[in-house]
Every structure is written in C-alpha cells, then in structure tokens.
C-alpha cells in the first residue's frame, strides 16, 4: 500500500486552519499542513505537496511533482500489466 502522494493544493479553508484541500488523480482530500506551518512554511493554492499519511511534509517544485506523478503512473501501469 502506498501512503505517500504528490498532490496540488486547490484550497486553504479559512475555517480549518492548518488544513489544505488537495487534488490527487481528480479526487480531493484534506491534508494537514501543521508540520510545514510549524517550520514557518506558508502553503498556498497551486503549491505542489509531498504528503505522507495525510500530512504535508514538503512543498515540491512543479517539475519535480510532475516527474514523480509520471513515475508513479508508470509503476501502476507496469503492475497492472503484470497481473
């Protein structure tokens, strides 16, 4: 099971401080930005995040995020073909 994801922030609910709404593969989720905020890092809509078990652990440059997403999709396709 994969618990690490790369996703893009689509909203920062004002009523839920320390939370971001992110999109992964067309599905939206809530993730905690508490670790980044604690380190003084501001998360904004449009940012790309690396998340782990529902926690944002770092902001990624868009090119890196897209490369990781592509690699993940290739692994998924290979796994599907193997079955």
* CB under 8 A, 24+ apart: contacts of 4-8: 4/50, 4/51, 4/52, 5/50, 5/51, 5/52, 6/48, 6/49, 6/50, 6/51, 6/60, 6/65, 6/68, 6/69, 6/72, 7/31, 7/48, 7/49, 7/51, 8/46, 8/47, 8/48, 8/49, 8/65
Number of compact structural domains in the chain: 1
Residue range of the domain that includes 18: 4-82
pTM recorded for the entire structure: 0.86
What local confidence, expressed as pLDDT, does residue 72 receive? 86
Per run of 10 residues, the mean pLDDT along the chain (length 83 residues) is: 80 93 93 95 96 94 93 88 82
Q: What CATH number is associated with residue 50? A: 2.30.30.140
């Amino acid at each position: 099971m994969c618990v690490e994801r790369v996703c893009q922030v689509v909203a920062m609910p004002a009523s839920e401080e320390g939370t971001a709404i992110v999109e992964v593969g067309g599905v939206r989720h809530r993730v905690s930005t508490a670790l980044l905020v604690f380190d003084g890092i501001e998360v904004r809509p449009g940012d790309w995040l690396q998340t782990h078990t529902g926690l944002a652990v770092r902001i990624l440059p868009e090119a890196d995020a897209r490369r990781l997403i592509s690699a993940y999709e290739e692994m998924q396709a290979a796994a599907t073909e193997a079955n």
